[in-house]
Chain A
Amino acid sequence: MAFKLHPHKPKKGADMAVDAIRFDRKIWQTLSSIKTGVVLLITVVVLSAAGTIVLQRPTTEADEMQRAYSPHVLRILDAVGLTDVFHAWWFVTLMLLVSASIIAASIERFPNAWRFYSRPYKYPDKNFRRALPTQKQLAIADEETGLVAAERALHSLGFKSERVVQSDHFSLFAERNRFSEMAVYIVHASLLLIFFGGIVDALWGWRGFVTLNKGQQSSQVELRDGKKKSLPFAVRCEGAGQENYSDGTPKKWWSQLVVVQNGQDSQRKQIVVNDPLVYRGVRFYQASYGPTGKLDKLLLTAKLSQGAGEKKDLSLGLDEIAPLDSDTTVQLAEFIPDYVVSDGRVYTRSNTIENPAARLLVTSRKGGKPINFWLPPIEGFAENAQSPYQFEAVDLKQGYFTGLEVSHEPGQWMVWAGVILMGIGLTFVFYLAHTRLWAVPVREANGKLVLWVGGTANRNRDAFEERFSELSKKIELELQSLRAAPAHDRVASLA
């Protein structure tokens, strides 16, 4: 079924139209037509669906892409931008076109709606009365009785009626939720606001990553595209940790962060997953947590090589020196996480603590050169026998890093405002119908006086029909009671 262009607009004469339509006018009409809107939306749907089926670049690793597609196909996909649909220039252009179409369509239709909104139609003329589908005629004795009955009935249904003055008589007008006529523009505006926020974020927003060890401080963010960004402030990690459930699955990751600006601590917060730190529009999220492979503390016991002596507990960080007695000190000179011996040297194979070794330097003030004490005693290096003290490793504490996702989204407030506005707009659109009711005393051709009652609602018409029949019943009841009651409380008839 083809769409018709502007069926609600008055048809112009064919000859006039040809003259009048200029090129830009034609563009405007195309842009504002609902047909264009639908075509654009279908295109958006198809392209975004394609973007979920083809693997996307930033989220999928490069080698995975190469595994999934042949080089030839991958080259084509990359060239047309299908591997990063949502950031491709044509997708952004499409979104701009959609925005333009919404704006144009709203501008095109707004004046009519505004006229309708700002100048309510209060007195239904003859043609309107004839054409209105929901109406009823009730016989009345005189105009005033009819109007008073209608007023009372409207009042009991919660409508505030208004008397409209005509040249020779009054009529009644009552309405509710007139604002609902404007609501669709609110929804469109909110959609534009969301788009606009998204565009602002796409242009000026950024996302990156910071890895911090405990005690470390940094103002450098590694962005998604591999570039570095310097922040005008630094962030320091004072601690990070993981808590587990009893079955060993992680329950909570946390990092204690401090924002440092101009050398001063200006904000501090413990962040957890779902609760970021926000400083000057830059947000720090808990993203990952894990061991650095570096040593934090080595726990040792020391005992004199000769003679009986008590075991002494020591806790050493890298390069840290601890006194053993008045003459002797020990220093943790080297820590190798995953050691291997080859070519007469000690190397590390990896950065994870798999096969650790430590070199302690035992120095005595009495002279002699410092002694290398190795844990474990690696042959050819260890001088353990010469040491006045013997050491035993008890435990080692690893260092942990915390991974922070950093983002700056200056447009997000527009997005949230748009979301709230949309919620309000949709509520008005769907749940609050603009209801209008009229009551006009009319003298029919046969001379009988009747009260013409009619009404419309822009949504939920069947519910409205029910209310309308309720209203007309109420008016009849009021008319009956007025007929029964003496006329003392009536105002003199205007006729």
Chain B
Amino acid sequence: MMISLNHYLFLAAFLFAAGLALVLTRRNVVVVLMGIELMLNAANLNLIAFARYDPLHLQGQAFALFVMVVAAAEAAVALGILVQLRRTYQTSNLDEIKALHE
């Protein structure tokens, strides 16, 4: 039995679902960010798996590289804002960060 395209797709779907579950259920900002990272990696895996069948060669692989770089930048911005937030709220729990609304 060879590792076929479907195996990659199922693994990616599992990663995506796991990431989404983390994002939806966890309340700690850092854990939510980890979930988002999982979702992005699921998309990356898909892109790279599909890149094999790309007649124009490797568009998917190049895309995955850019996704990784952008994700790192986004994570850096998120952590920067979080450091700022902790000074005000003394917590990184999303349920306790709720001074707006009121």
Tell me, yes or no, whether A binds B.
no
